[in-house]
């Protein structure tokens, strides 16, 4: 019974995706328009859902979740697909937007799956801009990932979410995660041309003062008028690490504190136009 349910859902997704892609292609070839694409580049559990929610509330702009997410009808499958096809899908998705400013988020794992780098997007869209979102506390980011994996809830927008009483953390897995995340950000920020078309923001400043951040940085970067912003996304974990991680004190003695943090704010002045 479960097999047939999965098969039915999979078939439904394929049909919806096929129809959506056909409509995008028709508009792309019959009514191609000039767009100003904005890509939110982030890693998992760095706050991209929250940022995207705020961006969606800006009038006369369009922001869509993950156009490379294989589980979405507007996404694309992960395997047996060429990089050229993926880039074409991105171009079609951007043209399908009703507004000149269109944004979407690209998660590092999706980019790596399809072999996409920021230079590919620059080559495809001469006016492309990037909002690079990172989380200063890699421990909090990893805990958030473990909670999402344990509950299978990746975005909380209602009151039905139940936070686990505790989670286990494997030190080796944590260290590998921190290394991968840092390598990803250091890699993309190494591009010298990026400084002319990027905005770097941290999850921590987004949470502490979203309106100030948008008025100070995001609205000028997007070249749009300031407006009221809001979000329906809720923070899943309000506990501190020692309150939710099993044997936290024992784990803390083995943790390299420096490896659990990252800060790219010093690059902000050099990167933002």
Of the candidate ranges 12-16, 79-83, 87-91, 212-216, the one whose mean pLDDT is the lowest: 12-16
Confidence of residue 110 (pLDDT cuts 50, 70, 90): very high
Confidence of residue 273 (pLDDT cuts 50, 70, 90): very low
Q: Burial code of 87-101, b = ≥16 C-beta within 10 A, e = fewer?
A: bbbbbbbbbbbeeeb
CATH of the domain at 21: 3.40.50.300
Tell me the average pLDDT across 204-217.
96
- 103, 62 contact by CB (below 8 A): yes
Residue 154: closest CA among 271, 1, 65, 49: 49
Question: Does some domain include residue 97?
Answer: yes
Sheet holding 129-134, edge to edge: 62-64, 101-107, 36-42, 129-134, 198-202
Distance CA(36)–CA(252), nearest Å, equals 46
Tell me the average pLDDT across 51-79.
91
pLDDT 10s digits, 43-56: 999 999 999 999 99
Question: Does some domain include residue 157?
Answer: no
27: Cβ contacts below 8 Å, ≥ 6 apart = 92, 95, 96
Question: Does some domain include residue 265?
Answer: no
Question: Does some domain include residue 50?
Answer: yes
Question: Does some domain include residue 111?
Answer: yes
Domain span at 214: 2-137+189-238
Distance CA(59)–CA(37), nearest Å, equals 16
The mean of the pLDDT values for the chain is 89
Residues in the chain, how many? 273
Confidence of residue 271 (pLDDT cuts 50, 70, 90): very low
- Assessment of whether the complete model's pTM goes beyond 0.75: yes
Question: Does some domain include residue 195?
Answer: yes
Question: Does some domain include residue 256?
Answer: no
pLDDT of residue 204: 96
pLDDT of residue 10: 65
Question: Does some domain include residue 152?
Answer: no
pLDDT 10s digits, 219-261: 999 999 999 999 988 888 889 999 999 999 988 888 888 889 9
The total of structural domains in the chain comes to 1
Tell me the average pLDDT across 86-109.
94
pLDDT of residue 272: 45
Q: How far is CA 17 from the centre of its chain?
A: 21
């Amino acid at each position: 019974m479960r097999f047939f349910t999965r098969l039915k859902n999979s078939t439904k997704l394929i049909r919806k995706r096929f129809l959506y892609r056909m409509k995008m292609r028709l508009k792309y070839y019959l009514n191609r328009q000039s767009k100003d694409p904005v890509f939110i580049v982030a890693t998992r559990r760095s706050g991209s859902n929250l940022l995207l929610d705020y961006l969606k509330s800006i009038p006369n702009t369009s922001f869509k979740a993950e156009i490379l997410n294989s589980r979405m009808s507007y996404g694309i499958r992960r395997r047996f697909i060429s990089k050229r096809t993926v880039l074409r899908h991105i171009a079609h998705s951007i043209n399908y937007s009703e507004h000149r400013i269109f944004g979407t988020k690209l998660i590092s794992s999706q980019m790596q799956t399809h072999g996409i780098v920021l230079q590919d997007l620059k080559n495809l869209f001469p006016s492309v801009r990037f909002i690079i979102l990172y989380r200063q506390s890699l421990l909090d980011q990893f805990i958030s990932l473990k909670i999402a994996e344990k509950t299978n809830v990746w975005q909380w927008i209602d009151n039905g979410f139940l936070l686990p009483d505790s989670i286990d953390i494997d030190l080796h897995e944590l260290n590998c995660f921190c290394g991968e995340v840092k390598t990803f950000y250091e890699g993309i920020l190494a591009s010298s041309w990026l400084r002319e078309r990027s905005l770097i923001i941290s999850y921590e400043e987004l949470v502490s003062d979203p309106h100030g951040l948008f008025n100070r940085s995001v609205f000028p970067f997007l070249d749009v008028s300031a407006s009221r912003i809001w979000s329906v996304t809720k923070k899943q974990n309000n506990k501190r690490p020692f309150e939710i991680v099993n044997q936290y004190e024992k784990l803390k003695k083995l943790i390299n504190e420096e490896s659990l943090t990252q800060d790219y704010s010093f690059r902000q002045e050099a990167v933002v136009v």
